[in-house]
């Protein structure tokens, strides 16, 4: 999960920054974006447009047709996965991560005045919250291509 969040952030950061700059210059957060630049007629290659294009996927929506990512994007995703799996194997690092998450959750609860012990919302009948257990394949981390991409 963390690797996907990192690669998604990395994929779209340039586009988000270019759009924020565009809206700030116009001083209007509803201003229309400029038209896409298209292809360079001399080389017939796509002109990279930071307002419209993502880093590892080529479309306005942040993903490519049929869900494909560039080779660089897939390579970086695999590298993030390996790094995260290695860190999770270290008990000291895991203890620090859990402490950080616990402290940050408490900070957010205090900041937004949320009582962690009380659940808000509609009460449900007993037994209506049946958990669905989905078996997951254990990953050794040795062959990420097989584990991640089947």
Provide the residue ranges of all domains of the chain, joining segments of one domain with +.
2-114
Contact at 8 Å (CB) between 69 and 57?
Answer: yes
Is the whole-model pTM more than 0.85? no
pLDDT for 150 equals: 45
Contact at 8 Å (CB) between 54 and 62?
Answer: yes
pLDDT for 36 equals: 77
pLDDT for 101 equals: 94
pLDDT per residue, tens digit, the chain (150 aa), is 899 999 999 999 988 998 899 889 988 888 888 887 777 777 777 777 778 888 888 655 555 566 678 889 999 999 999 999 999 899 999 999 999 999 999 999 999 988 876 666 566 666 655 555 555 555 555 555 555 544
pLDDT for 115 equals: 81
Number of residues that this document lists for the chain: 150
Residues with Cβ within 8 Å of 104's Cβ and at least 6 positions away in sequence, in order, are none
Tokens of 100: 């950080």
Q: At what angle do helices 2-26 and 71-89 cross, to 10 degrees?
A: 120
């Amino acid at each position: 999960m963390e690797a996907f969040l990192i690669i998604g952030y990395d994929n779209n950061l340039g586009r988000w920054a270019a759009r924020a700059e565009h809206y700030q210059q116009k001083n209007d957060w509803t201003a229309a974006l400029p038209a896409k630049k298209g292809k360079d007629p001399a080389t017939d290659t796509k002109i990279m447009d930071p307002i419209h294009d993502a880093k590892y996927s080529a479309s306005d929506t942040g993903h490519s047709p049929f869900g494909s990512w560039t080779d660089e994007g897939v390579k970086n995703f695999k590298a993030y996965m390996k790094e995260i799996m290695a860190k999770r194997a270290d008990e000291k690092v895991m203890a620090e991560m859990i402490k950080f998450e616990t402290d940050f959750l408490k900070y957010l609860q205090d900041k937004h005045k949320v009582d962690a012990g009380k659940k808000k919302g509609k009460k449900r009948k007993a037994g209506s919250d049946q958990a669905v257990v989905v078996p997951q394949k254990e990953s050794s981390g040795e062959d990420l291509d097989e584990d991640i991409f089947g």
